Amino acid sequence: MYVFMNIINIVVHYHIFTEPLKLQVHQSQSTTYLTCVSSCDDQTPFIWFKNGKKIAQNNRCYSPDVVGHADEYTCAVKGYEKFPSPPVYAPKLPSVSVSPSAEIVEGSSVTLTCSSDANPAAKYTWYKKNGDPDLHPLSKEPQLVFSSIQSSDSGEYYCTAENELGRRTSEYIYINVTYAPKLPSVSVSPSGEIMEGSSVTLTCSSDANPAANYTWYKENQTLIQTPGVKLHFPSISSEDRRIYHCKSENQNGQIYSSSLFIDLQCEYKTFTYEAYGY
């Protein structure tokens, strides 16, 4: 009795990576170095890719000449190019957001946030336009926080995102801080003595954002017919010899000026008489 047996040899090729590849970035003076880190021995050959295209092989380290804003670098063990490292790249154009997004009122809390896609992670710096970026960065954090924002904080702001592969600057964002009117001042034109019958103008002015609306009062009675900055007397008379003040008002509040008394000097006329003898 004969027994026939077919012997089949099965050879399985496999490779075990104990941990995924990592790509480290180092900078020495003006030179950038990329290092492919794996659990393989130091003799393992590597393949380098730039934007998906092979650019070098064999070496564990690679130093790019110039890194563009859109460039991405990866590495892989030779023969296992389908399993590359995560890409490294310079920061993308940063975006800036403001919280709260509604109207910003003086005294409120406001936060500006800078964010950018980058690997390695970006470091952020905040600046105010027309400032000196080398001497006066406002913050070196992703967020610029105003715990109680003031009218003097109005202006244009921008941030930078930077890692070992490059630096990008955001677009400007304008912060408009609104506030209630400050104490109004009242001026009289012409200055000096006011003669009865002359032309006189009172002007009320106040710092406010948005611009204030003004109302004039005479002896605490509203002058409905003259809502505005100026109160004009074409020919001032004794009836106008009163106490005046104004109110400055916008959506954030209102405030009254100090009172102003308008005093008049009478105009004296000189008469010449001729005497006749009888």
* CATH number, domain containing residue 254: 2.60.40.10
| Range with the poorest average pLDDT among 8-12, 48-52, 242-246 | 8-12
Q: Residues 28, 61: one domain?
A: yes
Residues 142 and 126: their CA atoms lie apart, in Å, by 8
pLDDT value, residue 21: 86
Range of the domain at 130: 95-178
Between strands 260-261 and 155-163, the pairing is unpaired
Q: Show which of 114, 148, 178 is a domain's final residue.
A: 178
pLDDT at residue 8 greater than cutoff 80: no
* Chain-centroid distance, C-alpha 137: 13
HSE-up (13 A, CA, CB side) for residue 98 = 19
Tell me whether residue 121 is in a domain.
Answer: yes
| Residue 10 vs residues 13, 113, 135: alpha-carbon distances, Å | 10, 59, 70
Q: Residues 68, 123: one domain?
A: no
Structural domain tally of the chain? 3
Between strands 104-105 and 177-178, the pairing is parallel
Tell me whether residue 250 is in a domain.
Answer: yes
Per-residue pLDDT tens over the stretch 172-226: 999 999 999 999 999 999 988 899 999 999 999 999 999 999 999 999 888 865 6
Q: Residues 99, 62: one domain?
A: no
Q: Show which of 71, 89, 107 is a domain's final residue.
A: 89
Q: Residues 36, 84: one domain?
A: yes
Per-residue pLDDT tens over the stretch 18-27: 457 889 998 8
Tell me whether residue 275 is in a domain.
Answer: no
Tell me whether residue 7 is in a domain.
Answer: no
Q: Residues 143, 192: one domain?
A: no
